[in-house]
Chain A
Amino acid sequence: MTPLTGYLIVAALIFAIGLAGALTRRNAIMVLIGIELMLNAANLNLIAFWRYSPHPELLTGMMFAIFSIAVAAAEAAVGLGLVISIYRHAKTADVEQMNRMKG
């Protein structure tokens, strides 16, 4: 097994764990935690491909990962703001009880 394969398998494992968390947990914050884990697994893929690529001096994968970290930070801020807003309105953070589109 080459080093790149090992990193890709670890990234796939973390992605699957994050997906399982996002799909099975009731609390909306835990769904966001699962999404963050999936984004991190994608970043690990990008960095690993950058490291073992024939032209790492072009910095393509590295830049992609840095911009992805910035977008993930924005996503976390908006997502948690939405969870707090919904909690204030519906008095719950349970996604199974959030079943009305009308407020």
Chain B
Amino acid sequence: MDFVFYLISAFAVGGALAAVLLKNLVHAALALTIAFFGLALLFLRLDAQFAGFAQILVYVGAVAILVVFAILLTKGSEVPREGVFSKSWFAGLAIAAGVFAVLARAVLQAAPSLPNQTAVPAVTVNDIGNALMSRYVLPLEIIAVLLTAALLGAVIVAMHEKERAKQ
């Protein structure tokens, strides 16, 4: 536990809080990018360089841009008059607080029995590529099919149907 960890954690948690609390959706999307970036820094701090840069490429580069596109296409940048939080916001907040209390209690109770390997893992990107192409080749292929199907499905779902619009 050191200063850098607390700094990056505050960065990520602050970004997540701002993403959830900000009223303007474009501001919320920018705060979400900050949260993703903070999480990528936490991955780098955990000596997971590949996952950290994949996080920056996929989340900061693609998902955040996709969210901004969706906000602008749905005119979500205007703050609605009836407020941004639902009528049952208190119940949602109570459920989230309860979930955090349960998770934190479980983590703190299990703390003495958790693994505590301090040696830096000697894993290179080369090893990750070899593992992806040998032991994890079937999940990799399934992910490839899933991504193709999901992208085709997203295009078909969001595509404007002219015939139906005329009816």
* Bound-state Cα–Cα, A91 to B108, Å: 47
B115 touches A74 (CB 8 A): no
What are the residues of chain B within 8 A of A30 when measuring CB–CB?
A: 20, 25, 28, 84
Residue count of chain A within 8 Å CB distance of chain B:
74
Question: How near does chain A come to B136, taking the closest CB pair, in angstroms?
Answer: 5
What 1/0 flags go to B73-97 for Cβ under 8 Å of A?
A: 1101000101111111101110111
User: Size of chain B's interface in residues, with CB distance under 8 A?
Assistant: 84
Assess whether B96 is in contact with A93, with CB atoms less than 8 Å apart. no
Q: Give Cα distance in the complex from A4 to B113, angstroms.
A: 11
Chain A residues in the interface with B (C-beta under 8 A)? 1-10, 12-27, 29-30, 32-34, 36-37, 40, 43-44, 47-54, 56-57, 59, 62-63, 65-67, 69-78, 80-85, 87-88, 93-96
Residues of B within 8 A of A (CB): 1, 5, 9, 12-13, 16-17, 19-20, 25, 28-29, 32, 35-36, 39, 42-43, 46-48, 50-51, 54-55, 58-59, 62-63, 66-67, 69-71, 73-74, 76, 80, 82-89, 91-93, 95-97, 99-100, 103-104, 107-108, 111, 114-118, 121-123, 127-128, 131-132, 136, 139, 143, 146-147, 150-151, 153-155, 157-158, 160
